[in-house]
Amino acid sequence: MLQLPAGREASLGEAAPQYARHRPERTLLYQLVEEYYPVFEAQWAAEGRVLPDYVRQEFDEYLKCGCLEHGFLRVQCGTCHAEHLVAFSCKRRGFCPSCGARRMAESAALLVDEVLPHKPVRQWVLSVPYQLRFLFASQPQIMGKALGIVYRTIATHLIRKAGYTRTTAHTGAVTLIQRFGSALNLNIHFHMLFLDGVYIDDAGSAQFRWVKAPTSGEFNQLAYIIAHRLARYLERQGLLERDAEHSYLALESADEDPMDQLRGHSITYRIAVGSQQGRKVFTLKTLPDERDAAELMVATTGNVAGFSLHAGVAAKASQRDKLERLCRYIARPAISEKRLSLTNQGKVRYELKTPYRDGTTHVIFEPVDFIAKLAALVPKPRVNLTRFHGVFAPNSKHRALVTPAKRGKGGKPEAADGQDEQPPVQRHAAMTWAQRLKRVFSIDVERCRICGGSARVIACIEDPVVIKKILMHLEEKAPTRATPLLPDSRAPPQSSLFG
């Protein structure tokens, strides 16, 4: 897609921003999945294991995402009648970069426009030990209970630091549960956008009181409290066993989940399939930075027994652009196609976003094991990865008082005196794909690139016979790989639909 500086408007005399259809079949990720997913599935079946339906659907739908031969919308200009086609998307949550980017833009816009008030916000990040990452991935209901414990611990700290009690003051947070690490490993951790203060009730209104940033001692204390409370909860649930020397998770189950092996190897950076199964993933390293990153973060991080609590990033009330960038960052897709390439030996090389402290810059996978890493990132169905707490919770009586959308219980906006409530269509309207492109890339797909007129959807094409005729007419045949996978190949630049 063409990316322009935010806020730039193109006049009819200038080159108008053009919508360029995403062509996934030309990307390295698509080619790897298309070629090696059947191999991975066959190897998995040879071991007597069957992938769950939701994982197979993730791969099958990804291979259809953005491909015109599986259906599309016809968009036509009402003035000059110029047309372009918009392919259907898979809307999956696992590893599709295109759908992940759209979801990222929509989530960030929703949080900034309708949920987070014009008050200071701080990001709290909690990482947990390997054993809990595996538990949260395999039993999401336990993860939800654990997240509630984490929220109450931090919220109570903020309220007490402000000088109030939980009956007289309230705070809130939005948690985005991230399932991936920089090395495509399964790493479930919590990004919590907390109000950097509390609300107190004052004659029917909510008054905000700012709270100072936590100190290094408070971080360590909070990390200890969280670790201790989570351990007690897991022990009550019969998931944690303790003896005089150590503690361990008891995860015995009558029905073995075939995904447990993939999850376990992904969490611990190990190879999941093939002759090298169980060995550490190969990495590339450089000399580590002379500065110790841990020393640079010591003032904003607490580390206790494998728990890491960090809260060094905050946005002031006036920094709405920074807040939206932060929301996009924590809602970003799992995989970056820009960091994906092939080695001369045909292995998959993935560059880390930031080098590790030991100097690791890349991880290297066999192609089939790369597919296994993607499979481990697919969340179970009906697991909500965005949670609202405190004053932002759907059932909170304070929600309508503090959120920009003024929505009360059940998500309905509070009607002002003498005004009718908004109609349901307007109330529940979501950001469209056109609005996402315009907000993120300054591309207006509802404006004709030729005459500047208004464009609209005129048809939804799903009949295979009709699809074939239209594509043949436009000389847009079903995508085939023109060249085999090449070492050091990357996704080529995108071009417009009509050249």
pLDDT value of position 74: 85
Residue 15 has a CB neighbour count (10 Å cut-off) of 9
DSSP H or E segment with residue 115: none
Identify the band that residue 438 occupies on the pLDDT scale cut at 50, 70 and 90.
low
Query: Which CA distances in Å does 351 have to 28, 273, 371, 378, 418?
Result: 14, 21, 16, 21, 58
* Extended beta strands in 260-395, E state: 282-285, 301-304, 307-315, 340-342, 348-351, 360-365, 386-390
Residue-wise pLDDT tens digits, 318-338: 999 999 999 999 999 999 999
Token pair belonging to 319: 């920094």
Token pair belonging to 350: 């993935």
pLDDT value of position 299: 54
Compute, in degrees rounded to 10, the torsion defined by CA atoms 414, 419, 425, 430.
-50
Q: Residue 104 and residue 317: Cα distance in Å, rounded?
A: 22
Identify the band that residue 293 occupies on the pLDDT scale cut at 50, 70 and 90.
very low
Three-state SS annotation for 396-443: CCCHHHHCCCCECHHHCECCCCCCCCCCHHHHCCCCCHHHHHHHHHCC
Residue 116 has a CB neighbour count (10 Å cut-off) of 24
Residue 296 has a CB neighbour count (10 Å cut-off) of 12
Mean per-residue pLDDT for 220-227?
Answer: 94
* Extended beta strands in 297-402, E state: 301-304, 307-315, 340-342, 348-351, 360-365, 386-390
Mean per-residue pLDDT for 23-40?
Answer: 94
pLDDT value of position 221: 94
pLDDT higher at 278 or 385 = 385
Mean per-residue pLDDT for 156-162?
Answer: 95
DSSP H or E segment with residue 249: strand 247-249
Token pair belonging to 427: 């109330």
Q: Residue 203 and residue 198: Cα distance in Å, rounded?
A: 16
Buried b (16+ CB within 10 A) or exposed e, 249-270: eeeeeeeeeebebbbbbbbebb
Average pLDDT, the chain: 82
Q: Residue 205 and residue 187: Cα distance in Å, rounded?
A: 41
Residue 194 has a CB neighbour count (10 Å cut-off) of 24
Compute, in degrees rounded to 10, the torsion defined by CA atoms 143, 273, 39, 375.
10
- Strand, coil or helix: 468: helix
The strand pairing partners of 460, in sequence order, are 73
Mean per-residue pLDDT for 246-271?
Answer: 76
- Strand, coil or helix: 119: coil
pLDDT value of position 456: 82
Q: Residue 116 and residue 402: Cα distance in Å, rounded?
A: 8
Q: Is residue 137 over pLDDT 80?
A: yes
Identify the band that residue 405 occupies on the pLDDT scale cut at 50, 70 and 90.
confident
Mean per-residue pLDDT for 170-196?
Answer: 96
pLDDT higher at 77 or 158 = 158
Residues ≥6 apart with Cβ < 8 Å to 110: 431
Q: Is residue 424 over pLDDT 60?
A: no
Edge to edge, the sheet with strand 121-127 lists 301-304, 307-315, 121-127, 186-195, 172-180, 386-390
Strand pairing class (72-77; 455-461): antiparallel
Amino acid present at 21: R
Residue 195 has a CB neighbour count (10 Å cut-off) of 26
Largest CA distance in the chain: 79
Helix segments in 129-215, DSSP class H: 130-138, 140-161
Token pair belonging to 147: 């997240």
The strand pairing partners of 208, in sequence order, are 199
Give yes or no for a contact between 19 and 84, defined as CB atoms under 8 angstroms apart: yes
Residues ≥6 apart with Cβ < 8 Å to 124: 154, 173, 190, 191, 192, 194, 309, 310, 311
Mean per-residue pLDDT for 471-486?
Answer: 60
Domain boundaries in the chain? 97-243+257-270+292-336+379-411
Give yes or no for a contact between 157 and 164, defined as CB atoms under 8 angstroms apart: no
Burial class (CB in 10 A: 0-12, 13-18, 19+), 175: buried
Identify the band that residue 147 occupies on the pLDDT scale cut at 50, 70 and 90.
very high
pLDDT higher at 482 or 66 = 66
Q: Residue 495 and residue 167: Cα distance in Å, rounded?
A: 58
Residue among 168, 376, 352 nearest 270 (CA)? 376
Place of tokens 């015995």: 252
Mean per-residue pLDDT for 192-207?
Answer: 88
Residue 76 has a CB neighbour count (10 Å cut-off) of 17
pLDDT value of position 133: 94
DSSP H or E segment with residue 31: helix 28-46
Residue-wise pLDDT tens digits, 332-384: 999 999 999 999 999 999 999 888 888 889 999 999 999 999 999 999 999 99
Q: Residue 367 and residue 371: Cα distance in Å, rounded?
A: 7
